[in-house]
Amino acid sequence: MTTRPSSDTVAVRPDPSPCRPQDLGKFEVTARDGAARLGLLYTNHGVLATPMLLPVVNPNIRTIEPREMWERYHVNGLITNSYVTWKHEKLRDPALKDGIHALLDYPGVIVTDSGTFQSYVYGDVEVGVEEIVEFQRNIGVDIGTMLDVFGRPDMTREELENAVVETADRATPSLTVAGEELLLNGPIQGGLHEDLRAHAGDLMGSMEGEHRGFAIHPIGGIVPLMEKQRYRELFQILLAARATIPPNRPIHLFGCGHPLLFPLAIALGTDLFDSAAYALFARDDRLLTPEGTVKLGELTEWPCHSSALFHHTPKEVREMEKEERSVLLSHHNLEITQVELARCREAIRNGTIWRLAEQRSHASPQLREAFEWVIEQLVDPDEGPVGQSALRIISSTNPVRGTAEHFGNDIDYRPHLLHLNAMLATRWRAPGSWWDDSVSSPERVVILTGAAPPWRNSALGTAVEALREEPRSVILISTPIGLIPFTLEDVSPWCHIDGSDDLWRMVISENEIDAWLDDLSLSNLPLDIHECLPDPDEIAGGDKRQIIRDWIDRCTVVDKLSLFCGINPKLSCDLTSNMSARRSRTDRMVNVNFDDQHCLSPRLPDGALSLTLNGARALHELNPNPPRKFQSEMEYIEGDHLGIPRVLLHDDAIPFVGQGRNVIHGFVLGADSHLIVGQPCLVVDSEGNLVAHGIANATADDMSFFTKGIAVKVRDGAMKQ
């Protein structure tokens, strides 16, 4: 007997439509939070919205019917085994006759594996490299898998090298047999060796078939690690492989499907998972939860709910027949898996995937160890592929957030804060001229303490007084996560930390002060610490008050242009020499004019900058040459103030983008390597002329690979009539 979790009827879901032929196999990223991305993978049986899990369906034992996965759980793709299908006549013949979709009664995306895992479990398989790809093609699979060589973690280096090389040797014949319609997985092997994983990523990522290369890169050989909860090594392998896998290919963790691992795996760039855990664990009376596995035998109440279990108590379920119980628990496990993936996708949308990974890391000691190891790689990246991936995670993360930053022990190591602090350390400069028109180096540093944001209310008076006293003062605010220039007082997350009131009374130690001043190149100056008084704002500064405030406003614009747009502060000083600003009722600068032209506004949610077309033109004049076209390898130009980053547009797109349409991947010929996701950029033609300005939606590296999706969200075209 099959237990359906409840009797409510489910509306029939229509079959998916095939993608446009020119989109087959393309991957598009629609939103990102650092390395985590929301993607769309185009196939002949619909679009896979990633990150997602392909439930494993054993064609001989269908614990949950594929049709029900489609109808009830909206599972848009599943994975089954082509080798098992090929081996059993009763499956092979109908698959060849009617196709795999009819055999499984499933209209969505069908992915198949090739028998490699069986060779790992049983020793060998008797199918040929080309034969198994041909079979997958003939039964109408959407995404097949070549017969890779499973690299076990306990193999010698030589054996693992052979597994990588042999897999790569089989790639071209496999892509040839796959033909035009069958997309292929190109697995990455290499055991625990970072360099072998990176080498495999390079080899497999650069394979080209007649129609296309591999559509997806699964990371293989990791099941033995997950079985033993060796999560640190799992994530080490992921980071090493990711260093060389082309960014426009989805990454799949082969055999990974425990919800506990989803947030960190996704935060580090995983797009696809597959697993039979939902059914295997159920057969063993175990429940999946986002925080680990729970045995049915121990429960009085459910630790987490699903529609499958809502109407039952643990005792009732224990008393069911084995088969009925196992089906019911499979439903629960699949539901929980889907719910956790939805939670991760939502976290990517609202910029909190790292926070979720951090929370989940506390659910298991092994995962916590892995998380702490990842943090170490971010804070102190090495020279190898793992360090390269770590740096890329930081630099691809939008440094500012519109949402509150939760205070916690790991706060200093979050990728967006590491990015923001690195930008502060490299791009911020102390003023060279002062409100009293003197032009010289600073005389002292003043740290304002004991005030909570908004600092323009709680600390402005004290700042103005300090500047009146000594015009050549660099004013810093003490925040729970470090010292920041007063001019950046409305930049979130610094000004938007969620924690107890005590945070703002926290005393920063002398060592910490020294380290921060060193980062800001202010170590050699005399230091004063001023406790912010109950605001003397109204009278602070006396008759100099307005002059000092106008000077602070100007410094704010110079500092933000430096931080978010890479503009040299000396050039910004010239730009702002005739600056005026309009303030809101809450006393924030809203419109900033240069020579009476509205050029920019601080963004209200995060304090970064929003340019107008006038502002874009002004910054463009400082940097009028076009960026270089993409080369075979991304060129990283060194320098703190390289000017506002530019994207070089293909001629065909100029009429559209010039009118204000978004820049689409595939029309980008080059981009400055210091482009920052979420921050302003210019779009220029091959002569360097301004076509538009907007917000970068991808890194320069991504732009050199992707052929689908939005590269720049354009704010305004420069060629509008």
128: amino acid identity, one letter: G
**Out of 150, 435, 594, 706, the residue judged to bind ligand GUN by CB under 6 A:** 150
The label of the residue with tokens 């390395």 reads 35
Specify the residue, 224 or 499, whose C-beta has the smaller distance to ligand GUN.
Answer: 224
What gap in Å lies between CA 556 and CA 549, rounded to an integer? 10
Q: CB of 18: closest distance to ligand GUN in angstroms?
A: 26
User: Up-side HSE of residue 272: CA atoms within 13 Å toward CB?
Assistant: 30
Give the C-alpha separation, 262 to 70, whole Å. Answer: 22
Is 550 exposed, middle or buried, given 0-12, 13-18 or 19+ CB atoms closer than 10 A? middle
Of 221 and 627, nearer to ligand GUN (C-beta) is 221
HSE-CB of 287 using CA atoms within 13 angstroms: 26
CB within 8 A of 411, min separation 6: which ones?
Answer: 405, 417, 480, 481
Does residue 428 bind ligand GUN (CB under 6 A)? no
Closest CB 189 distance from ligand GUN, rounded Å: 7
Q: Which residues contact 21 (CB under 8 A, 6 or more apart)?
A: none
304, amino acid identity: C
Going from the C-alpha of 659 to that of each of 626, 662, 665, 678, 691, the distances in angstroms are: 20, 9, 17, 21, 8
Please provide the DSSP assignment of 301-354 as one string: S-SS--TTTTT--HHHHHTS-HHHHHHHHHHHHHHHHHHHHHHHHHHHHTT-HH
**CA 139, CA 102: separation in Å to the nearest integer?**
10
CB atoms within 10 A of CB 310: 11
223 versus 267: smaller Cβ distance to ligand GUN: 223
Query: Considering beta carbons, is residue 125 or 710 the nearer one to ligand GUN?
Result: 125
- Asked if residue 83 binds ligand GUN (CB under 6 A), the reply is no
Q: Which of residues 570-609 bind ligand GUN (CB under 6 A)?
A: none
Which CB sits closer to ligand GUN, 5 or 187? Answer: 187
As measured in angstroms, the least distance from the Cβ of 605 to ligand GUN is: 43
Q: Reduce the DSSP state of residue 542 to 3 states and report it.
A: helix
Write the DSSP symbol of residue 499: S
Stretch touching ligand GUN by CB under 6 A, among 143-151, 678-686, 699-707, 711-719:
143-151
- In total, the chain counts a number of residues equal to 721
Binding mask 248-277 for ligand GUN (x = CB under 6 A): ------xx----------------------
Q: Which residue from 25, 46, 66, 187 is in contact with ligand GUN, where contact means CB under 6 A?
A: 187
The stretch near ligand GUN (CB under 6 A) out of 94-102, 144-152, 373-381, 668-676 is 144-152
| Rounded CA separation 421/519 (Å) | 9
Cβ at position 116, least distance to ligand GUN in Å: 3
Beta-carbon contacts of residue 491 (< 8 Å; ≥ 6 apart): 400, 420, 484, 560, 606, 607, 608
* Residue of 28, 33, 68, 148 interacting with ligand GUN (CB under 6 A): 148
Minimum CB–partner distance for residue 482 and ligand GUN (Å): 43
Query: What's the closest the beta carbon of residue 255 comes to ligand GUN, in angstroms?
Result: 4
Of 258 and 545, CB closest to ligand GUN: 258
Distance CA(230)–CA(217), nearest Å, equals 21
**What DSSP character marks residue 242?**
H
* Shortest distance in whole angstroms from residue 179 CB to ligand GUN: 20
User: Which entry of 33, 113, 553, 702 is annotated as an active-site residue?
Assistant: 113
Shortest Cβ contact with ligand GUN: which residue? 220
- By beta-carbon proximity to ligand GUN, the closer residue of 196 and 223 is 223
Nearest CB to ligand GUN, comparing residues 163 and 400 = 163
Check: CB of residue 495 under 8 Å from CB of residue 480.
Answer: no
Q: How far is the CB of 222 from ligand GUN (least distance, A)?
A: 7
Distance CA 243, CA 385 (A): 5
DSSP string computed for 131-176: HHHHHHHHTT-SEEE-------TTS-HHHHHHHHHHHHHHHHHHHH
| Residue given tokens 């989805």 in the structure block | 250
Site for ligand GUN contains 145 (CB under 6 A): yes
Cβ-based nearer residue to ligand GUN, 83 or 564:
83
Q: How far is the CB of 173 from ligand GUN (least distance, A)?
A: 16
Residues 685-704 that bind ligand GUN (CB under 6 A): none
Instruction: Please give the residues from 99 up to 118 whose contact with ligand GUN meets the rule CB under 6 A.
Output: 113-114, 116-117
Tell me how far, at minimum, the Cβ of 161 lies from ligand GUN, in Å.
16
How big is the site for ligand GUN, counted in residues (CB under 6 A)? 13
3 state DSSP class of 237: helix
Helix (H, G, I), strand (E, B) or coil at 15: coil
Contact characters 209-228, ligand GUN, x per CB under 6 A = -----------xx-x-----
Return d(Cα 138, Cα 131) in angstroms, integer.
10
Smallest separation (angstroms) from ligand GUN to the CB of 197: 12
Q: Which is nearer to ligand GUN, 125 or 589 (CB)?
A: 125
DSSP letter, residue 215: S
113 is catalytic: yes
Nearer to ligand GUN, 107 or 255 (CB): 255
Kindly list the residues in this chain that would bind ligand GUN in the complex (CB under 6 A): 113-114, 116-117, 145, 148, 150, 187, 220-221, 223, 254-255
**Active-site amino acid positions:** 113
